[in-house]
Amino acid sequence: MSSTEQGTSSAAPAEPTTAPESAAAPEVPESFYYVHGKDKVVHKVSAGALQHSALIHGMISNLGYTEEQAKANPFPFENIDGDILQMVVDWCNQHKGKPTPPEDTNLPKQKEKLFDLVLAVNYLEIKELLTYCCKQVAMMVKGKSPEEIREIWMIPTDAEDEAAEKEAKKRAGKEAAGETAAAAGDAK
Amino acid sequence: MPIALLKFPNDFLREVFRLCDPFDLYKLSKCSKTCSQKATMLRDTKKWKIGFSALNNAAIWVDGSIYYFNQTDNPEDYFKTKNSGMNSTHMDVEFPIVDLFIYLVDTFGIRIVRIMGIGSDNFHNVLKVAQVLIDRRMEIESFRIFDVRKEQDVVNFMPLMKQMNIIQEFKCFLKFPPNFHFEFVKYPRHIYIDYSSWFTIDQLLDCTSAWIDLEKSSLNNHDLDVFLQKWKKKGTFPNLRWLEIGSEKIDDQSPILEMIPPIKNVTNPRKKVSINGGGYIIDGVRATKDDGTEGWLKVELGGWPILKFLV
């Protein structure tokens, strides 16, 4: 059972739960779709929440799935970790049908997840969440010294860059030499 | 918790760097050349404008804010920022100011100088900076000469100024020696000269500026009549929008456009004509060019005779 609101999930093929509805019931019954990440945990998400993702919105806009068809065909996002997809789904639910506030307090706070979150959000084309992630990354270095910035953003020094470049050239040279030797062997 | 910034996709990095101000990118440039080059490319810093003030600091104009870089000798103050309101922030840096200016221009690929001023305290630095601007063929939007103690220094500087590409504005508040002479190679859009006795009628007749303001001038009624008669001819002074001449030599002894000063319209109800940029004339007399273009003239006498002409 997956509860996208509470962040608790179980592995598929368990029955997914419905995200809580907004207080005012919509006049037209809302349609739901199903997504899962690398961990196969299925999340049931309303079409309204999924509108935040340009990628998914484009996928579902002309499908016309029935509830059963949607349940039987969850969208697989195998390149996204389960906990990251959970964060994204949570965010989409929290911001369903609402203008996003300038200072979003619902952003995931775990910086160790930020990199994966950015990749997922970038892939799913969730523009507003991407903007917030960018802001969070940019704010990490405000008022910091160059040395602190280098540590926070893990920026290699010029010497490290040069060493890496030399190493890469050396490796490429060895590979090229190996390929030449192999080709010569084949010719014999 | 650190994150490996450079592993992010470029679209994301572009957005992150868009949120970075010039101080952030300056500090980033101190971290690594590779990272700095990526940041300046994605941030499109070539569009930034730089300034060099008479107070001996460098500033960058971007997105409606001004970022001042001030030199300090105290390492404890390096990279400390201070907000001074009105969208301006200051940061102390370690560079000597001219080196810093060159570093900012080169690191961020800046092509335009928003404003540059020459004063007593920064004269020798301006000499060096001016040469850099000339060598790099940079555009200077506004150049100002303030009161410099040794005016001969500025006289010696003027040949260098001739080579500077001043586009928008030239303002001069310095009183040059009586024998001073200077010819503009190219006129900026707006000139204001406080002690303008060196600016002759021949220069005025050649001037292509849109806004000309000459104070403490030595031009007389005859000069101004010659200028305005020329203006009336088709195709002359196509840029001119505002002319203001303050001169003790304007008097009521000879006509300007067939009128003896003071010149103002007293028969009609008061009428104000204004143009963008702040110039206005109340009770001006209409003057019409051969091509039908309308101008408004007003000449006042008294302690400080003044001619105003608006197109």
Q: How confident is the model at residue A61 (pLDDT cuts 50, 70, 90)?
A: confident
Report the share of chain B in percent with pLDDT over 90. Answer: 80
d(CA A121, CA A119): 6
Quote the mean pLDDT of chain B: 93
Q: Which residue has the higher pLDDT, A108 or B227?
A: B227
A77 and A162 share a domain? no
Task: For residue B306, give the nearest of B267, B268, B251 by alpha carbon.
Answer: B251
Average pLDDT over residues B220-231: 98
Does residue A112 belong to the interface with chain B, where contact is any CB pair within 8 Å? yes
Task: For residue A35, give the nearest of A63, A77, A65 by alpha carbon.
Answer: A77
B261 contacts B221 by C-beta, under 8 angstroms:
yes
Report pLDDT for B271. Answer: 75
A142 and A160 share a domain? no
CB atoms within 10 A of CB A94: 16
The answer to the question of residue A166 being in a domain is yes
> Does the pLDDT value for residue A40 go beyond 50?
yes
A95 and A138 share a domain? yes
Q: Which of B1, B24, B32 sits opposite A155 (nearest CB)?
A: B32
A40 and A97 share a domain? yes
A44 and A114 share a domain? yes
CATH number of the CATH domain containing A112: 3.30.710.10
The answer to the question of residue A23 being in a domain is no
The answer to the question of residue A18 being in a domain is no
The SS3 assignment for A14 reads coil
pLDDT digits (tens, 9 = 90+) for B134-145: 999 999 999 999
The ipTM value here is 0.78
d(CA B253, CA B65): 52
The answer to the question of residue A164 being in a domain is yes
A167 and A118 share a domain? no
The answer to the question of residue A103 being in a domain is yes
d(CA B69, CA B79): 9
Q: How confident is the model at residue A126 (pLDDT cuts 50, 70, 90)?
A: very high
The SS3 assignment for A44 reads strand
The answer to the question of residue A173 being in a domain is yes
Question: Minimal Cα–Cα distance from A109 to chain B, Å?
Answer: 11
Average pLDDT over residues B78-93: 91
Task: For residue B20, give the nearest of B74, B60, B72 by alpha carbon.
Answer: B60
A174 and A91 share a domain? no
Report pLDDT for B261. Answer: 96
Cβ distance of A161 and B8 shorter than 8 Å: no
The DSSP output letter for A20 is: P
> Does the pLDDT value for residue A123 go beyond 50?
yes
A59 and A97 share a domain? yes
Q: Which residue has the higher pLDDT, A12 or B293?
A: B293
Q: How confident is the model at residue A188 (pLDDT cuts 50, 70, 90)?
A: low
Question: Minimal Cα–Cα distance from B108 to chain A, Å?
Answer: 17
Average pLDDT over residues B253-268: 91
pLDDT digits (tens, 9 = 90+) for A73-107: 899 999 999 999 999 999 999 888 877 666 665 56
Report pLDDT for A26. Answer: 52
> Does the pLDDT value for residue A110 go beyond 90?
no
Chain A contacts in chain B segment 49-88 (CB below 8 A): 78-79, 81
Question: What range defines the domain where residue A82 resides?
Answer: 32-146
A98 and A166 share a domain? no
Q: Count up the domains in chain A and report the number.
A: 2
The DSSP output letter for A180 is: H
Average pLDDT over residues B25-40: 92
A58 and A85 share a domain? yes
Report pLDDT for A71. Answer: 86
Quote the mean pLDDT of chain A: 80
Three-state DSSP string of chain B:
CCCCHHHCCHHHHHHHHHCCCHHHHHHHHHHCHHHHHHHHHHHCHHHCEEEECCCCCEEEEECCEEEEEEECCCHHHCCCEEECCCCEEEEEECCCHHHHHHHHHHHHCCCEEEEEEECCCCHHHHHHHHHHHHHCCCEEEEEEECCCCCHHHHHHHHHHHHCCEEEEEEEECCCCCCCCCCCCCCCCCEEEECCCCCCCHHHHHHCCCCEEEEEEECCCHHHHHHHHHHHHCCCCCCCCCEEEEEECCCCCCCCECCECCCECCCCCCCCEEECCCCCEEECCEEEECCCCCEEEEEEECCCCCEEEEEC
A78 and A131 share a domain? yes
Average pLDDT over residues B90-109: 92
The answer to the question of residue A1 being in a domain is no
A78 and A168 share a domain? no
Q: How confident is the model at residue A24 (pLDDT cuts 50, 70, 90)?
A: low
Cβ distance of A152 and B3 shorter than 8 Å: yes
